[in-house]
Amino acid sequence: MQVTIINMLVVAAAVVIHYEFLHWLTRLLPRLRVMHRARIVCGVGGALVAHAIEVWVFGIAYYSMINTPGWGSLHGEFFHGTLLDCVYFSFTVFTTLGFGDVYPEGNLRYLIGVESLTGLVLITWTASFLYYEMQRNWSGD
Protein backbone atom coordinates (compact mmCIF):
# COMPACT_ATOMS: atom_id res chain seq x y z
CA MET A 1 0.00 0.00 0.00
CA GLN A 2 2.85 2.42 0.79
CA VAL A 3 4.34 1.82 -2.65
CA THR A 4 1.08 2.80 -4.32
CA ILE A 5 0.74 5.95 -2.23
CA ILE A 6 4.33 7.04 -2.90
CA ASN A 7 3.88 6.37 -6.63
CA MET A 8 0.67 8.39 -6.72
CA LEU A 9 2.25 11.32 -4.86
CA VAL A 10 5.30 11.47 -7.12
CA VAL A 11 3.18 11.24 -10.29
CA ALA A 12 0.75 13.85 -8.94
CA ALA A 13 3.65 16.21 -8.24
CA ALA A 14 4.97 15.79 -11.79
CA VAL A 15 1.53 16.33 -13.35
CA VAL A 16 0.86 19.43 -11.24
CA ILE A 17 4.25 20.89 -12.15
CA HIS A 18 3.55 20.24 -15.82
CA TYR A 19 0.06 21.72 -15.66
CA GLU A 20 1.29 24.85 -13.90
CA PHE A 21 4.11 25.38 -16.41
CA LEU A 22 1.77 24.99 -19.39
CA HIS A 23 -0.82 27.24 -17.75
CA TRP A 24 1.86 29.87 -17.11
CA LEU A 25 3.11 29.58 -20.71
CA THR A 26 -0.44 29.90 -22.04
CA ARG A 27 -0.77 33.22 -20.26
CA LEU A 28 2.76 34.44 -20.99
CA LEU A 29 3.28 33.62 -24.66
CA PRO A 30 0.51 35.82 -26.14
CA ARG A 31 1.79 38.83 -24.14
CA LEU A 32 5.36 38.61 -25.43
CA ARG A 33 6.08 41.44 -27.85
CA VAL A 34 8.22 39.35 -30.16
CA MET A 35 7.74 37.47 -33.42
CA HIS A 36 5.56 34.39 -33.22
CA ARG A 37 8.49 32.05 -33.85
CA ALA A 38 10.33 33.57 -30.86
CA ARG A 39 7.26 32.92 -28.70
CA ILE A 40 7.37 29.27 -29.79
CA VAL A 41 11.06 29.05 -28.86
CA CYS A 42 10.14 30.45 -25.43
CA GLY A 43 7.39 27.83 -25.20
CA VAL A 44 9.81 25.04 -26.03
CA GLY A 45 12.29 26.37 -23.46
CA GLY A 46 9.59 26.55 -20.80
CA ALA A 47 8.43 23.02 -21.59
CA LEU A 48 12.00 21.71 -21.36
CA VAL A 49 12.43 23.35 -17.96
CA ALA A 50 9.17 21.73 -16.81
CA HIS A 51 10.32 18.30 -17.99
CA ALA A 52 13.71 18.72 -16.33
CA ILE A 53 12.05 19.59 -13.01
CA GLU A 54 9.73 16.60 -13.33
CA VAL A 55 12.69 14.30 -14.00
CA TRP A 56 14.37 15.69 -10.89
CA VAL A 57 11.23 14.96 -8.84
CA PHE A 58 11.45 11.31 -9.87
CA GLY A 59 15.24 11.29 -9.39
CA ILE A 60 14.88 12.61 -5.84
CA ALA A 61 12.23 9.97 -5.18
CA TYR A 62 14.62 7.25 -6.40
CA TYR A 63 17.45 8.65 -4.32
CA SER A 64 15.24 8.70 -1.24
CA MET A 65 13.97 5.19 -1.88
CA ILE A 66 17.38 3.59 -2.42
CA ASN A 67 18.57 5.18 0.83
CA THR A 68 15.58 3.86 2.80
CA PRO A 69 15.67 0.18 3.76
CA GLY A 70 13.01 -1.98 2.15
CA TRP A 71 12.24 0.14 -0.91
CA GLY A 72 14.66 -1.46 -3.34
CA SER A 73 17.87 -0.57 -5.07
CA LEU A 74 19.43 0.44 -8.36
CA HIS A 75 22.45 -1.33 -9.78
CA GLY A 76 24.85 -0.86 -12.66
CA GLU A 77 28.53 -0.87 -13.47
CA PHE A 78 28.76 2.93 -13.31
CA PHE A 79 25.92 3.53 -10.85
CA HIS A 80 27.23 4.73 -7.48
CA GLY A 81 24.00 5.78 -5.78
CA THR A 82 24.51 9.54 -5.96
CA LEU A 83 21.63 11.94 -6.51
CA LEU A 84 22.97 12.72 -10.00
CA ASP A 85 23.09 8.99 -10.80
CA CYS A 86 19.42 8.77 -9.82
CA VAL A 87 18.54 11.81 -11.93
CA TYR A 88 20.42 10.34 -14.91
CA PHE A 89 18.45 7.13 -14.48
CA SER A 90 15.24 9.14 -14.23
CA PHE A 91 16.01 10.92 -17.53
CA THR A 92 16.43 7.58 -19.32
CA VAL A 93 13.18 6.26 -17.82
CA PHE A 94 11.10 9.46 -18.29
CA THR A 95 12.02 9.66 -21.97
CA THR A 96 11.59 5.87 -22.34
CA LEU A 97 15.13 5.79 -23.76
CA GLY A 98 16.18 3.08 -21.30
CA PHE A 99 19.84 2.39 -21.97
CA GLY A 100 19.74 -0.58 -19.60
CA ASP A 101 22.98 0.39 -17.88
CA VAL A 102 21.12 0.81 -14.58
CA TYR A 103 18.54 -1.70 -13.42
CA PRO A 104 16.15 -1.77 -10.44
CA GLU A 105 15.33 -4.33 -7.78
CA GLY A 106 12.53 -4.35 -5.23
CA ASN A 107 9.51 -2.09 -4.88
CA LEU A 108 11.34 0.67 -6.71
CA ARG A 109 10.47 -1.12 -9.97
CA TYR A 110 6.85 0.01 -9.78
CA LEU A 111 7.72 3.71 -9.70
CA ILE A 112 10.00 3.17 -12.69
CA GLY A 113 7.16 1.71 -14.74
CA VAL A 114 4.87 4.53 -13.70
CA GLU A 115 7.52 7.14 -14.59
CA SER A 116 7.79 5.79 -18.14
CA LEU A 117 4.05 6.10 -18.62
CA THR A 118 3.99 9.54 -16.98
CA GLY A 119 6.86 10.76 -19.15
CA LEU A 120 5.13 9.53 -22.29
CA VAL A 121 1.89 11.30 -21.36
CA LEU A 122 3.59 14.56 -20.34
CA ILE A 123 5.80 14.68 -23.42
CA THR A 124 2.73 14.09 -25.60
CA TRP A 125 0.88 16.82 -23.71
CA THR A 126 3.77 19.19 -24.43
CA ALA A 127 3.75 18.29 -28.13
CA SER A 128 0.02 18.99 -28.32
CA PHE A 129 0.42 22.27 -26.45
CA LEU A 130 3.23 23.46 -28.72
CA TYR A 131 1.34 22.43 -31.86
CA TYR A 132 -1.67 24.40 -30.67
CA GLU A 133 0.50 27.43 -29.89
CA MET A 134 2.09 27.24 -33.35
CA GLN A 135 -1.28 27.00 -35.07
CA ARG A 136 -3.02 29.63 -32.96
CA ASN A 137 -1.22 32.62 -34.41
CA TRP A 138 0.58 31.18 -37.40
CA SER A 139 1.05 34.13 -39.72
CA GLY A 140 4.08 33.13 -41.67
CA ASP A 141 6.47 35.43 -39.77
pLDDT at 100: 92
Rounded to 10 degrees, the C-alpha dihedral 40/41/44/46 comes to -100
Name the pTM for this structure: 0.93
Residue 65 and residue 26 in contact, taking contact as beta carbons nearer than 8 Å: no
Within its chain, how far is the Cα of 104 from the centroid?
19
pLDDT at 139: 62
In the three-class reduction of DSSP (H, G, I as helix; E, B as strand; rest coil), residue 45 is classed as: helix
In the three-class reduction of DSSP (H, G, I as helix; E, B as strand; rest coil), residue 74 is classed as: strand
pLDDT at 37: 81
How many CB atoms within 10 Å of residue 14?
26
122: Cβ–Cβ under 8 A, 6 or more apart, which residues? 14, 15, 18, 51, 54
Q: Would you write out the chain's pLDDT as a tens digit for each of its 141 residues? A: 898 999 999 999 999 999 999 999 999 988 888 887 888 899 999 999 999 999 999 999 999 999 999 999 999 999 999 999 999 999 999 999 989 999 999 999 999 999 999 999 999 999 999 999 888 767 655
Strands 103-105 and 73-75: antiparallel
Check: CATH 1.10.287.70 for 2-13+53-136?
Answer: yes
Rounded Cα–Cα distance for residues 81 and 65 (Å):
11
